[in-house]
């Protein structure tokens, strides 16, 4: 099984699939179809029914329920095909470090070093087969590891004739630019419940994520000759700096962890006449999230009183909400994932997501969908890494989840 999952993974990561946040097309990049078409062909070879990719680059396929198991809830498994665009301007060259020493690793000739001091968990991976890039690109484990794990699970279930209810499989585009669930057809997918396989360490189970919004401040300044500027000039760039200074101190991503929320400045540019800045706002607690948005609105009001109406314009776009409220009523998803993880000898870790997943949006679209770890670490940069053993454990966890749900009717007796 481990050979299958690693072979799949190494093939997938060499197909370039960065999405593009500035694109207006769906998907945002045509290259994602290259992987989608390859996955469809492979799914058909495995015997997955009606495997296809739609016009928006969503891949779907199904394994029908074993005879006599049709009344068991249909369980879905979802991963995304795209990668981030950073460090993704050329093909990935994976490097396998067999019997890894647990010490620092030089990443090819990139002069980058994967350091234990930066990633203390590396010492726990000693003896495993560690996979990295050559340090010039991302690895692509986010989320091609999830794809490899789901299809290896599917192959195992089919070949070993493991009894099961209906299994629904989907691979999505554009998750990394926040659009992975935009055109997901929940009704066609047909699952009662699902799991995204898009997390970190094997054994991770995530069902709580940030409430999230994108906030943009636009400032229209007033430019006059600096010699005549007294009480007239409004320097838009300086007003942006003032906005940032009015935010609570110590509430940036660098200063927070766990369930703590933040204001994160992502962009700032402009001049005296016009300037714009963007923030992402995050908080697990819905009431605290609402308070954060109110802080921004108050800043807008105060500065318009100071500099004149319409000097500052705030636009808030809510992005996703904490899926916990949709998962708690069907908490068997979390309990069964924990049980499956323990069954394969891995310690489950329930952790809050300091971000969001497709599963968060899908949960609010009517498909309760917690997130499972893939076995990977340090996503979105050249230090990304994963182990063969970690991926193998995830495959086993997915199989155990199938087995647990096959006993659903016994649970109801």
Query: What is the edge-to-edge ordering of all strands in the sheet holding 95-97?
Result: 95-97, 130-132, 385-387, 376-377
Measured CA to CA, the distance from residue 122 to residue 129 in angstroms comes to 12
Whether residue 72 contacts residue 404, with contact meaning beta carbons closer than 8 Å, is answered with no
Measured CA to CA, the distance from residue 66 to residue 167 in angstroms comes to 10
Residue among 16, 142, 143, 175 flagged as catalytic = 175
Cα torsion 202, 340, 329, 71 to 10°: value is 130
Residue among 16, 82, 174, 176 flagged as catalytic = 82
Whether residue 167 contacts residue 77, with contact meaning beta carbons closer than 8 Å, is answered with yes
Measured CA to CA, the distance from residue 184 to residue 321 in angstroms comes to 17
- Concatenating the DSSP letter of every residue in 22-35 gives T--SSSS-TTHHHH
Angle at CA of residue 289, ends 287 and 294, nearest 5°? 95
Task: Tell me how far the alpha carbon of residue 102 is from its chain's centroid.
Answer: 27
- Concatenating the DSSP letter of every residue in 220-257 gives E-B---GGG-TTT-B-HHHHHHHHHHHSPTT-SGGG--
Whether residue 203 contacts residue 372, with contact meaning beta carbons closer than 8 Å, is answered with no
Element (H, E) at 159: helix 141-159
Greatest extent of the chain over all pairs of C-alpha atoms, in Å: 86
Measured CA to CA, the distance from residue 19 to residue 302 in angstroms comes to 38
- Does the annotation count 175 as an active-site position? yes
Q: Is 4 left (phi over 0), alpha (psi -120 to 50) or beta?
A: alpha
- Concatenating the DSSP letter of every residue in 364-402 gives HTT----EEE-SEESTTSTT-EEEHHHHHHHHHHHHHHH
Q: Which residues are catalytic?
A: 82, 175
């Amino acid at each position: 099984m481990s050979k299958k999952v690693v072979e799949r993974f190494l093939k997938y990561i060499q197909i370039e699939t960065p999405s593009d946040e500035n694109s207006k097309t769906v998907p945002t990049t045509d290259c994602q179809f290259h992987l989608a078409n390859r996955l469809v062909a492979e799914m058909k070879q495995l015997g997955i029914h009606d495997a296809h990719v739609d016009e928006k680059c969503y891949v779907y396929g199904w394994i029908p329920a074993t005879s006599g198991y049709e009344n068991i809830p249909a369980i879905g498994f979802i991963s995304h095909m795209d990668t981030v665009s950073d460090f993704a301007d050329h093909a990935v060259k994976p490097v396998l470090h067999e019997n890894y020493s647990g010490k620092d690793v030089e990443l090819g000739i990139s002069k980058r070093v994967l350091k234990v001091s930066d990633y203390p968990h590396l010492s726990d991976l000693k003896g495993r087969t560690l996979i990295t890039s050559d340090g010039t690109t991302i690895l692509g484990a986010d989320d091609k590891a999830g794809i490899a794990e789901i299809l290896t699970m599917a192959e195992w279930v089919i070949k070993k004739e493991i009894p099961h209810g209906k299994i629904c499989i989907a691979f999505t585009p554009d998750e990394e630019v926040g659009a992975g669930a935009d055109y997901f057809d929940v009704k066609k997918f047909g699952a009662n419940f699902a799991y995204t396989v898009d997390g970190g360490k094997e054994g991770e189970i995530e069902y709580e994520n940030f409430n999230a919004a994108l906030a943009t401040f636009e400032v229209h300044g007033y430019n006059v000759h600096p010699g005549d500027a007294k009480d007239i000039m409004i320097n838009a760039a300086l007003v942006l700096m003032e906005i940032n200074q009015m935010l609570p101190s110590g509430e940036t991503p660098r200063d927070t962890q766990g369930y703590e929320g933040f204001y994160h400045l992502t962009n700032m540019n402009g001049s005296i006449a016009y300037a714009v800045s963007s923030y992402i706002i995050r908080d697990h607690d819905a009431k605290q999230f609402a308070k954060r948005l109110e802080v921004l609105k108050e800043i807008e009001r105060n500065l318009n009183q100071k500099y004149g109406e319409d000097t500052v314009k705030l636009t808030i776009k809510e992005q996703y909400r904490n899926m916990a409220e949709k998962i708690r009523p069907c908490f068997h998803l979390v309990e069964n994932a924990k049980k499956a993880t323990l069954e394969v000898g891995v310690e489950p870790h329930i952790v809050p997501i300091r971000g969001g997943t497709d599963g968060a949006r899908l949960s609010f679209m009517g498909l309760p969908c917690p997130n499972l770890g893939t076995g990977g670490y340090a996503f979105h940069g050249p230090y990304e890494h994963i182990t063969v053993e970690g991926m193998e454990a995830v495959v086993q966890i997915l199989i155990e989840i199938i087995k647990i749900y096959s006993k659903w009717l016994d649970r109801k007796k």
